[in-house]
Amino acid sequence: MKAAGNQKLQLKAAKSKVGCLSLSIITFVVLLLAFCVLLFFRYNTWFGNIEEAPYTTPPFIDRITLTPGENFMSERTVSWRFDTIPHESRVEYFRVDTLNTDTLLLNSAVIHEKIKSRAGDAYYYHARLPKLEEGAAYKYRIVSDKETTKWIDFKMPSSPDTLRFIYMGDVQDKQGFVSDSLFDLLRKKEVNYDFIAFGGDQIERPMDSYWTIWYESLREWAGQVPFVTVPGNHEYLKGITYRLDSRWIAQHNYPENGPEGFKGKSYYIDFPLMRMIILDSNTIHWPHAILKHYNWLEKTLKDARQPWVVVMFHHGVYTVRDGRMHPFMRYLFLPLLEKYKTDLVLQGHDHAYSRITTKISGDTITPVYVISNASPKFYRNGFNPIHDRLGSGISLYQKIQLTQDELTYKSLFFDGEVYDDLMIKRTREGEKKIIDNARNQAEVFNFDGFGDNPKGIKKKDAYLQAVKERKANRPEN
Ligand SMILES: [Fe+2]
């Protein structure tokens, strides 16, 4: 009897095991099928690249770009593109000295390399200009065996005590008309800045035609004003091996002080008042890149001796576009930014506006996180109350000024109207106090890209309701 009972129990246990196994197999097959369906519909979004149209690099010097070296006060790099065959070249430059007509003409050695893209190739050149003097004006020109450019002017910062710069989030203008007119407004209005920073997605896709649009809208700026840029996802080729456009490093030649394997993409620049750390967040997906960047960022933040630290990357730690999230930036890199007391974090990607201050035990402190957009392309924002200040359907730029004890931050429309206004003050005890001058200013929600179909109309109604609720809870009321 007992043996028969045991047999029954064993049979029951075996049946249950088979049942569990079947359930696991069914779950696995269902998940696999769901993944295949998702892959089928999302393949192009995740892995597809628009084909790049064949192009021929012109046989003259173009795309002249000025960037800073590691030491902003004394180093500049000039990069340019020129032809599909190599040319003997050099950069001539001199300090403009109105008191001395016998100017010293300096020469800088040039490095060149052939860069291949998907649809063409070109020779890219660059020259480092070291030991430049504070407050001095310089002229330079590129001399080659075939062509000599006109003299181009640039100025070194006049004082180590004040630093002014402009920031722009995504520019990403397919046709270039909007960015050209916005840049033109800035060129006419803003004269007091030491450099311009761009938070990635300067162009629509990694294609030569879009780089042409980019350089056409920059006009003379590119060779005269130092640019500090970070790659965005639109400068990357999608695929299993996610690759930065081959032109990107060659046309900027940033300092090679980034993490091993990512030099020229992630880097830092030192100013007397600020360390600016530029991190290519596009690569923060795979363990190797995460580990390298994590260790490098920690060391670079820890070693900063300047009174202010600003970090720039493309993907926001707290996203503002509805439904978006970058878990590694949010849960791995944000704690580092907080731990080492970063002051300002400049981001893009979401094509809307957000400014967040850090709140701990009732205090409003740094880091301040900013997401901004200067593109004609807009996304719908979310309404998480963590955002101190939001905006949608608007193009803005930022003016940031630093002295030893104050960082002033303004977000402006390109016609000059102020949209956000913040000051970070260092107290005698070394604490940083935030003064929010835009607390009582109304927010702007102009996003209207919902479409006319019933689904779009429903989404629009929900969005307008969320705007209403946000306004009801704001101090401007
Ligand atoms: Fe973008």
Two tokens at 368? 């301040």
CA of 315 to the centre of ligand 1 (A): 9
Cα of 349 from ligand 1 centre, angstroms: 4
pLDDT digits (tens, 9 = 90+) for 73-132: 999 999 999 999 999 999 999 999 766 666 678 888 899 999 999 999 999 999 999 999
> What was the pLDDT predicted at 323?
81
Q: Of 233, 303, 249, which Cα lies nearest the Cα of 49?
A: 233
Compute, in angstroms, the gap from residue 370 CA to the centroid of ligand 1: 15
CB atoms < 10 A from the CB of 446, how many?
Answer: 9
* 312, 197 Cβ separation under 8 angstroms: yes
Residues 195-223, mean pLDDT to the nearest whole number: 96
Distances 63 to 126, 139, 252, 305 between C-alpha atoms, Å: 11, 17, 10, 35
Q: How far is CA 397 from CA 4, 189, 210, 360, 372, in A?
A: 82, 13, 21, 28, 7
Q: How far is the CA of 35 from the centre of ligand 1 (A)?
A: 26
Ligand 1 centroid–CA 425 distance in Å is: 32
Q: Find the 103 Cα to ligand 1 centroid distance in Å.
A: 45
CA of 174 to the centre of ligand 1 (A): 11
Choose the weakest-confidence range: 41-45, 278-282, 418-422: 41-45
Counting residues of the chain whose pLDDT is more than 70, the rounded percentage is 94
Measured distance CA(417)–CA(415) in Å, rounded: 6
58, amino acid identity: P
Q: Measure 378 CA to ligand 1 centroid, in angstroms.
A: 9
pLDDT in tens, 408-429: 999 999 999 999 999 999 988 8
Residue 384 pLDDT class (50, 70, 90 cuts): very high
Angle of CA points 331, 336, 340, to nearest 5°: 155
**Interval between CA 432 and ligand 1 midpoint (Å):** 32
Calculate how far, in angstroms, residue 171's C-alpha sits from the geometric centre of ligand 1. Answer: 7
User: Ligand 1 centre and the CA of 351: distance in Å?
Assistant: 6
Distance 45 CA to ligand 1 centre (A): 14
Ligand 1 centroid to Cα of residue 344, in Å, is 20
Q: How many Å lie between the centroid of ligand 1 and the Cα of residue 192?
A: 27
Question: In the prediction, which pLDDT does 85 show?
Answer: 96
Exposed/middle/buried for 233, CB within 10 Å: 0-12, 13-18, 19+?
A: middle
Contacts 24+ apart (CB under 8 A), 186-192: 186/397, 186/414, 187/219, 187/221, 189/416, 190/166, 190/399, 192/164
Region label for 362, one of left (φ > 0), alpha (ψ between -120 and 50) or beta (otherwise): left
Q: What's the 120 CA to ligand 1 centre distance in angstroms?
A: 25
State the residue for tokens 């075939």: 146
- Over its C-alpha atoms, the chain yields an Rg (Å, rounded) of 26
For the ranges 319-323, 332-336, 397-401, 443-447, the lowest mean pLDDT is seen at 319-323
CA geometry: angle 396, 230, 267, nearest 5 deg: 135
Ligand 1 mean position to 445 CA, how many Å?
A: 19
Q: What is the value of pTM for the model shown?
A: 0.91
> Cα(389) to centroid of ligand 1, in Å?
20
From the list 401, 428, 446, the residue with the least C-alpha distance to 308 is 401
- Ligand 1 midpoint to CA 210 (Å): 14
Are the CB atoms for 103 and 95 separated by under 8 Å? yes
Cα 112 to middle of ligand 1, angstroms: 31
pLDDT band of 167, cuts 50, 70, 90: very high
- Per-residue pLDDT at 252 exceeds 70: yes
What pLDDT was estimated at residue 102?
Answer: 63
Spatial CA neighbour of 156 closest among 71, 99, 256: 71
- CA 347–ligand 1 middle distance (angstroms): 11
Distance 14 CA to ligand 1 centre (A): 56
The 10s digit of each residue's pLDDT in 122-165 is 999 999 999 999 999 999 999 999 999 999 999 999 889 999 99
Task: Kindly tell me the sign of the dihedral angle through the C-alpha atoms of 185, 352, 203, 247.
Answer: positive
Q: If you measure from the C-alpha of residue 20 to the centroid of ligand 1, how many angstroms do you get, rounded to a whole number?
A: 46
Is residue 96 within 8 Å of 106, Cβ to Cβ? Answer: no
Q: Residue 162 Cα, ligand 1 centroid: separation in angstroms?
A: 31
Where do the DSSP E strands lie in 316-362?
Answer: 344-347, 353-360
User: Residue 325 C-alpha to ligand 1 middle, in angstroms?
Assistant: 15
CA of 395 to the centre of ligand 1 (A): 13
Q: Is residue 38 scored above 80 in pLDDT?
A: no
Closest CA to 64 of 135, 8, 142: 142
Of 21-30, 82-91, 97-106, 273-282, where does mean pLDDT reach its minimum? 97-106
What pLDDT score does 477 carry? 61
C-alpha of residue 259 to centroid of ligand 1, in Å? 24
